[in-house]
Amino acid sequence: MAIRKIRISTDEVLRKICKPVKEINDHLLTLLDDMADTMYEANGVGLAAPQVGVLKRVVVIDIGEGLLELINPVILEQKGTQIDYEGCLSVPNASGRVERPSYVKVEAMNRKGETIIVEGEELMAVALCHELDHLDGILYIDKVLPDEEETEEV
């Protein structure tokens, strides 16, 4: 259990492609524990391994529905679109509008090495897409849409 240092957006490690996890060992379990600790300490809803300087395909997510640990996650299916504001622990004090699918289905491995399927809509779909992007060196700031003019819906 340890808090790791969160890398900030200018750090080159955030732009690398992460490698798949080949073996679930103590080292990986410690990484998962530390990533959850680090995410909760920073009040985030998700964290990807490169954000703590580790180039492995591992993410943790908790949007308030419990901790999700995903090893080697891949998107199997996506539907629809949604646009909402996103932030990132690696881009402090900023947010921007990003278009994401409104539904995603992700396959991953859990810490026991079991294959799991996670489906997400709304914030969970955003969190899954945002964290999986990190594994390919993509930050939400790469995808930000121009700010919408204030419009009143009648």
The residues of the shown chain that bind Ni ion, judged by CB under 5 A, are: 88
Closest approach of Ni ion to the CB of residue 149, in Å: 27
Q: Is 122 one of the catalytic residues? A: no
Active site residue: 131, 149, 152, 153, which one? 131
Nearest residue (CB) to Ni ion, 93 versus 151: 93
Nearest residue (CB) to Ni ion, 70 versus 88: 88
Nearest residue (CB) to Ni ion, 91 versus 116: 91
Q: Three-state SS for 27?
A: helix
Closest approach of Ni ion to the CB of residue 134, in Å: 6
137: exposed, middle or buried (Cβ count in 10 Å: 0-12, 13-18, 19+): middle
Closest approach of Ni ion to the CB of residue 138, in Å: 10
Task: Please say whether the beta carbons of 59 and 14 come within 8 A.
Answer: no
- For the beta sheet containing 68-79, the strands, ordered from the edge strand earlier in sequence to the opposite edge, are 46-48, 58-61, 68-79, 103-109, 115-121
Nearest to 91 by CA among 126, 54, 46, 61: 46
Residue with the shortest CB distance to Ni ion? 88
Q: Hey, which residues are catalytic here?
A: 131
